[in-house]
Amino acid sequence: MEIQGKVVVVTGAGRGIGAAICRRMAADGAAAVIVSDRDAAAASDVALQIGGTAIACDVAVESQIQNMVSDTLNRFGSIDVFCSNAGITAKGGLDCSNADFQSLWDVNVMSRLYAARAVVPHMIRQGGGSLVHTASAAGLLTEIGSAGYSITKHADIALAEWLSVNYGRQGVRVSCVCPLGVATDMLDQDDPIHRYLQLHAISAEDVAHAVVDGIRSEQFLILPHPEVAEFFALKAADRDRWLRGMQRMLQKLTRSSERRPGTSTPDRAAA
């Protein structure tokens, strides 16, 4: 699908990757870009920069997604591309609170289900459309420092696969964007795993570029870091070896961050 003349909705678009996707969609000639975020002021700023339309929406609340979709359809008559991009992270493993796990589940997974429920019937009626989920490489591999992020990003990809299988033949194209580190506010300098991700981080604009290419070529997996395909193939080929590699990487990251904070350079092949 080409972006020219299309109506595009992007969630979590007040900053970071979502804002970059909006800028890119506007530059590529979208007829309307709906800049949506729970932070209404941030969404308005981005919308003002690109001549888009800001809609405040907390994606964890289904009625807010339904209202945004019906407002957009009333105003512009169509939704061709819906980017479920808003996402959060929370550190921790078994110690992560139930409340944090629930928020991760609501924002990173349920929001995608709410969006699909609201827009898929419309996309089928109009003869097609594109659903884009910003998942993460953590959904194909894992994120060592966050159990909840890893689990919910895997679930997001599972939902996207299910949507593709069930609605692909009715014209609904589904894509999953799975970057490693991206230089946005989400990366935390005080976290050794995030410092590692930062070493190989790309820009939000690089991700937006990959998203537009992926929509154009109707790719399911959009991998702005091409090495993720290689890591995923290694994991699929020998899960036990991959797990041992990840265990070694955790050990290295923890030791090097204890010795020299901010300077860890673990073995990339371990992923």
Ligand X SMILES: NC(=O)c1ccc[n+]([C@@H]2O[C@H](COP(=O)([O-])OP(=O)(O)OC[C@H]3O[C@@H](n4cnc5c(N)ncnc54)[C@H](O)[C@@H]3O)[C@@H](O)[C@H]2O)c1
Residues catalogued as catalytic: 149
Quote the CA–CA distance of 177 and 219 in Å, as a whole number. 10
Ordered strands of the 81-84 beta sheet: 53-56, 32-37, 7-10, 81-84, 129-134, 172-177, 221-222
Out of 28, 37, 80, 100, the only residue in the binding site for ligand X (CB under 6 A) is 37
User: Cβ(68)–Cβ(82) under 8 Å?
Assistant: no
Q: Considering the rule CB under 6 A, would residue 184 count as an interface residue with ligand X?
A: yes
Q: Considering the rule CB under 6 A, would residue 175 count as an interface residue with ligand X?
A: no
Q: Considering the rule CB under 6 A, would residue 199 count as an interface residue with ligand X?
A: no
Which residues share a beta bridge with 36?
55
Q: Considering the rule CB under 6 A, would residue 86 count as an interface residue with ligand X?
A: yes
Q: Considering the rule CB under 6 A, would residue 10 count as an interface residue with ligand X?
A: no
Residue with the two structure tokens 């808003």:
86
Q: How many residues bind ligand X (CB under 6 A)?
A: 30
**Cβ nearer to ligand X, comparing 18 with 52:** 18
Q: What tokens does 86 get?
A: 């808003």
Binders of ligand X among residues 95 to 114 (CB under 6 A) are 107
Contacts of 143 (CB under 8 A, 6+ apart): 89, 136, 149, 150, 153, 193
Closest CA to 66 of 36, 29, 98: 36
Out of 18, 214, 245, 266, the only residue in the binding site for ligand X (CB under 6 A) is 18
CB of 101 to ligand X, least distance (A): 15
Chain residues that interact with ligand X, rule: CB under 6 A = 11-12, 14-18, 37-39, 42, 57-60, 85-88, 107, 134, 136, 179, 181-182, 184-187, 197
